[in-house]
Amino acid sequence: MTLTRKNRQHKYHLQIPMSSSTYSTAQMQFNDHKFSMLMNRHQHELESFSPHQKLLALDILKDLCWARNIDELSSCLTLLHFNIFHFYSNQTDLVSIVQKHSPTINELGTVVPTKTIKQSLFSYNIYKVEGTNSHDGVVLAIDKKVPSSHVPVDQPNFVAAQILVNGTQLLISSIYSPSHERLPLSEMTKRVNDYKNIIFVGDLNAKHADWECPQINPHGTKLAAWLNETKLNVLNSGMITSLRSDTTIDLIISNIIPEATENVALPYRCSDHFPIVTKFLEYSTTNNKRLVPRTYWNLFPFFLTVLQGELRESLIKNSNGTSDTFGWFQTLERLLSALKSRITNWTQIDMKHPSIPQSLRVLLKHKHYLQNRYRHNKTEENRLRLRTWNSIIMKEFKAVKKKNWEDFIANIASPDPSAFWSTVKKLNKKKSTNFQGICENNKIHRSSNEIIDCLTRHFAD
């Protein structure tokens, strides 16, 4: 989801990639009832054709009876592009869209504090970049279920992040280009050269006939030439995105062919732009592998030590010259971010065990329902219901923690050695020390049986 604030009227540009299913035969269903109905209705016409024409007609009729499951369609990578006025007063519409379409990525204005964004989108990772003034800027909020990492871009109003979907790496970039500023084509070209699969989303204020816009402006002319050079496609060609005119200025650009996507405008009017939902049918998130990150922090100081000399020299040169010191610190920040990403490995896990019991998850789900209800209708009755339900959940959390502690103590005091050691090892994360023998009364036991007998005698005494 992407949201960009523009001008003093508190306008935000929002875009959300979300989840949906791959268009494949294995995920399609054949409608037998529809095929029988068509055959009965058109049996007479089919008999008038030649055998070859009849077979061809039957094949086409069968093609018409194949359909994708709507539940599977909702599991493919989806993008929501949304311009929203007055974030604080219209965030209920944002929550409603997110709840309905389950977006993977959001773009938000930098004027909105990160804490506020996380309160509305608590299940997303936030990546934020400021604009050229206090009214510009973009933020990417990516679903935590999808592995993602921030890609540093030295350009205001331009935020990028890479995501991993079923082993395929995609770069998602959210851009806001004011009409009085140049398009960031140089930065966009760098991203195209660095990544095989890429999606640009944003309010580019570019108008051109190549994407069936009835008007043409300088932004559109430059962007059309750049698209022809890079061989990228505008996925929402001909879609009216502005409520003030019949123009297409909010664009979704990718190397994916338009036929592999579905685009639709949503009936929300809390802005002067229509929200756009784009589903990328080639990228399914249904069977997305469960990956967990592991960052080897012990390597972090090692590489900082390796780079210490070069960093000191660059800082001295920067201090003696006319360069901006703040720019040096921005470069250092990008270096640290890139280093952290480089020393992080994503490991696949077979099963993700929930940390709280099923009963608590049901209570939390109802709490989220009450929260959304209160956001839509802030009545005293809804506030009291939410407050009462929250107090119940807090009591249940305390009860669960108490029970977990009692179970832990019971396992510690258990006469079963296996239960004791399986519990104690959770406290000590260090691996056991490897040894080849045990010395007892100047005698060394080397075989496994001798070592076990020695330890048995020792602990029995």
Q: What is the pLDDT of residues 283-319, one digit of tens each?
A: 876 655 566 778 888 888 888 888 888 888 888 877 7
Long-range CB contact pairs, 177-185, < 8 A, 24+? 177/202, 177/203, 177/204, 177/205, 177/206, 177/219, 178/6, 178/132, 178/136, 178/205, 179/205, 179/217, 179/219, 181/132, 183/219, 183/222, 183/223, 183/226, 184/155, 184/157, 184/158, 185/222, 185/223, 185/226
Res 430: pLDDT: 63
Mean pLDDT of 46-51: 81
Res 67: pLDDT: 57
C-beta separation of 137 from 111 below 8 A: yes
Question: Does residue 236 register a pLDDT over 70?
Answer: yes
Question: Does residue 267 register a pLDDT over 70?
Answer: yes
Which two tokens mark 181?
């500023």
Question: Does residue 232 register a pLDDT over 90?
Answer: yes
Position of tokens 């009450």?
A: 370
pLDDT band of 458, cuts 50, 70, 90: confident
Res 172: pLDDT: 92
Res 222: pLDDT: 94
pLDDT band of 223, cuts 50, 70, 90: very high
pLDDT band of 1, cuts 50, 70, 90: low
Res 199: pLDDT: 93
Q: Which of 27-36, 133-142, 194-203, 342-351 has the lowest mean pLDDT?
A: 27-36
Terminus-to-terminus CA distance in the chain, angstroms? 66
Neighbours of 278 (CB within 10 A): 27
Q: What is the pLDDT of residues 147-169, one digit of tens each?
A: 888 898 888 889 999 998 877 88
pTM of the predicted structure, to 2 decimals: 0.55
| CA–CA gap between residue 379 and residue 381 (Å, rounded) | 5
C-beta separation of 83 from 12 below 8 A: yes
C-beta separation of 173 from 40 below 8 A: no
Mean pLDDT of 19-30: 43
Question: Does residue 189 register a pLDDT over 90?
Answer: yes
β-strand 168-176 against 198-203: which pairing, if any?
parallel
Res 18: pLDDT: 45
Which two tokens mark 96?
């409603």
pLDDT band of 111, cuts 50, 70, 90: low
Q: Strands, E, within 285-365: which ranges? A: 291-295, 344-348
| CA–CA gap between residue 456 and residue 461 (Å, rounded) | 9
Length, in residues, of the chain: 461
Question: Does residue 408 register a pLDDT over 90?
Answer: no
Q: What is the pLDDT of residues 418-440, one digit of tens each?
A: 888 887 777 766 666 667 788 88
pLDDT band of 321, cuts 50, 70, 90: low
Question: Does residue 16 register a pLDDT over 50?
Answer: no
Res 9: pLDDT: 38
Res 322: pLDDT: 57
Which of the two residues, 428 and 373, has the higher pLDDT score?
A: 373
Report for 110-124, 185-199, 321-335, 366-380: range of highest mean pLDDT: 185-199
Question: Does residue 17 register a pLDDT over 80?
Answer: no
Res 192: pLDDT: 92
Res 200: pLDDT: 93
Mean pLDDT of 400-428: 82
Looking at the DSSP assignment, which residues form a beta bridge with residue 233?
A: 254
Which of the two residues, 198 and 419, has the higher pLDDT score?
A: 198
Question: Does residue 13 register a pLDDT over 90?
Answer: no
Res 431: pLDDT: 62
Which of the two residues, 97 and 222, has the higher pLDDT score?
A: 222
Mean pLDDT of 397-417: 86
Domains and CATH numbers, the chain: 2-21+70-284 (3.60.10.10), 25-68 (no CATH), 291-348 (no CATH), 358-424 (no CATH), 433-461 (no CATH)
Q: Which of 222-226, 342-346, 370-374 has the lowest mean pLDDT?
A: 342-346
Mean pLDDT of the chain, nearest integer: 78
Q: Which of 285-299, 377-391, 436-450 has the lowest mean pLDDT?
A: 285-299
Mean pLDDT of 324-329: 76
Percent of the chain exceeding pLDDT 90 equals: 14
Mean pLDDT of 49-64: 75
Mean pLDDT of 377-397: 89
Which of the two residues, 348 and 77, has the higher pLDDT score?
A: 77
Q: What is the pLDDT of residues 68-105, one digit of tens each?
A: 444 444 567 888 887 776 677 677 777 777 777 776 66
Which two tokens mark 186?
């140089």
